[in-house]
Amino acid sequence: MHEIALIFGAIYGGLAVILGAFGAHALKNRMDEDLLKSFETGVKYQMYHALVLLFLNHLNYFHAFETKFIALSTWCFIVGTLLFSFSIYGLCITSMIGNKWRFLGPLTPIGGSLLVAGWVFLGLSV
């Protein structure tokens, strides 16, 4: 399980840097302020949870933590980040070009709920 946390943590972290730079440079003059703030929120949450996934990778080595809760937390963070951040990116970019993909809207709170669940499982792992 710890390899999955490490892989996704690294991928999400790298993509957060790329998407953050993309937002700051390529989208800065194309998006209105509200869309740009939403895009930045997606990037911030993606980076926060990339770091948490890297942290979870190391928790597997300590026997004081309940492995099943660490596994549940890992999967909640992986899927939650994908749904939360990437639905925000999709909504922002499609809104910018004038063809908002509304079907992405419900994915954002589902992803957010999974992120909260991930934190709960992390707390239960102790």
- Nearest Cα residue to 116 out of 54, 49, 65: 49
> pLDDT value at position 36?
93
CA distance 28 to 35: 10
Q: Which two tokens stand for residue 99?
A: 């063809």
In three state form, how does the secondary structure of the chain look?
Answer: CHHHHHHHHHHHHHHHHHHHHHHHHCCCCCCCHHHHHHHHHHHHHHHHHHHHHHHHHHHCCCCCCCHHHHHHHHHHHHHHHHHHHHHHHHHHHHHHCCCCCHHHCCHHHHHHHHHHHHHHHHHHCC
Task: Kindly report whether the global pTM for this prediction surpasses the value 0.75.
Answer: yes
Q: 57 pLDDT band (50/70/90 cuts)? A: confident
> pLDDT value at position 85?
97
Q: 66 pLDDT band (50/70/90 cuts)? A: confident
Is pLDDT of 58 > 90? Answer: no
pLDDT tens by residue, 71-120: 999 999 999 999 999 999 999 999 998 888 999 999 999 999 999 999 99
Number of Cβ within 10 Å of residue 56's Cβ equals 27
Q: Residue 125: what residue type?
A: S
Mean pLDDT computed over every residue of the chain: 91
Q: 126 pLDDT band (50/70/90 cuts)? A: confident
Residue ranges per structural domain of the chain: 2-124
- Nearest Cα residue to 104 out of 89, 86, 87: 87
